[in-house]
């Protein structure tokens, strides 16, 4: 497959509520796509379809079977130690390597209840990446974290994705997060992709770069909230 994800004319309704109505999306191998859109527009619905957790009503959807999801909540099993959560069916050494990569080499034998929110999400990332997925689906994985932890997680995700090169779909409310992490940002509105932007700055990818602010403003305008965002 020359694309990791290929979606055509995808439709999904819940009872009378049409959530996705003819959505097209391609994600190339190793590409990082961020999906933004207002609450309830169908972001998680699309992610669940790509994860195989739900079935579409119509259209075509191709996604690799080697796919892993990280949710907003860590979903660790409380009765398994950290390494056992990461390495279900794999040797302890595989978990140790993955946990070292996320900075938790010292927590292999810890119980999930003893972890901070940020640490638990690191374990969730290790659990996903230890399987070397071709597609990594991230559903607001940092939304419940405090701002400082989120900054650290952004840096970690950039590092992990550069090392493992999965295709990534990140669902987020956070336009800044989308621009900081993704190769391409797509906006979902009225059941379809309403806009897309390649994040292709000359120079560093940071809030200090004027191109960052320019793209941020365009995305907020496309989501219909630019003026509200400017007048806080
Ligand atoms: N299993 C379900 N049964 C009925 N309605 C559902 C179901 N799952 C989602 N919906 C509805 O579909 C719409 C889209 O939901 P979805 O969770 O995909 O939105 P979202 O963009 O991810 O929202 P948020 O950003 O708030 O998480 C919402 O109106 C939601 O209530």
ipTM: 0.96
CATH of the domain at 174: 3.40.50.300
* pTM (two decimals): 0.94
DSSP 164: H
- 180: containing domain: 5-76+135-230
Instruction: State the pLDDT at residue 229.
Output: 66
Nearest CA to ligand 1 atom 17: 44
Q: Which helix (H) or strand (E) holds 33?
A: strand 32-36
| Cα 161 to Cα 168: distance, rounded to the nearest angstrom | 8
Residue 34 pLDDT greater than 70, yes or no = yes
What are the pLDDT digits (tens) for 100-118? 999 999 999 999 999 999 9
Q: Looking at the 3D structure of the chain, how many domains does it have?
A: 1
Contact criterion met (CB below 8 Å) for 23 and 9: yes
Of 38, 113, 106, give the one whose Cα is nearest residue 74: 113
Nearest CA to ligand 1 atom 6: 14
19 inside domain:
yes
202 inside domain:
yes
Confidence at 33, pLDDT banded by 50, 70, 90: very high
If one residue of 44, 53, 73 were mutated to test the ligand 1 pocket, choosing by the most ligand atoms within 8 A of its CB, it would be: 44
102 inside domain:
no
Nearest CA to ligand 1 atom 2: 14
70 inside domain:
yes
Average pLDDT over residues 38-58: 95
What are the pLDDT digits (tens) for 17-31? 999 999 999 999 999
């Amino acid at each position: 497959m020359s694309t990791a994800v290929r979606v055509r004319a995808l439709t999904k309704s819940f009872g009378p509520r049409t959530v996705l109505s003819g959505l097209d999306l391609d994600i190339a191998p190793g590409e990082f796509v961020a999906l933004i859109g207002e609450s309830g527009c169908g972001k998680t619905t699309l992610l669940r379809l790509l994860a195989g957790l739900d079935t579409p009503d119509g259209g075509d959807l191709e996604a690799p079977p080697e796919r892993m999801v990280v949710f907003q909540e860590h979903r660790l099993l409380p009765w398994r130690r950290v390494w056992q959560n990461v390495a279900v069916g794999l040797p302890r050494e595989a978990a140790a390597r993955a946990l070292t990569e996320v900075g938790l080499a010292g927590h292999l034998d810890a119980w999930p209840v003893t972890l901070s929110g940020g640490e638990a999400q690191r374990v969730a990332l290790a659990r996903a990446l230890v399987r070397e997925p071709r597609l990594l689906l991230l559903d607001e994985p940092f939304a419940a974290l405090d701002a400082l932890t989120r900054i650290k997680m952004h840096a970690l995700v950039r590092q992990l994705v550069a090392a493992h090169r999965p295709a990534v779909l990140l669902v987020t409310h956070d336009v800044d997060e989308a621009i900081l992490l993704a190769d391409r940002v797509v906006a979902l509105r009225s059941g379809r992709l309403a806009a897309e932007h390649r994040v292709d700055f000359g120079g560093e990818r940071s809030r200090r770069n004027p191109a960052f602010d320019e793209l941020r403003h365009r995305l907020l305008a496309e989501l219909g909230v630019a003026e509200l965002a400017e007048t806080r």
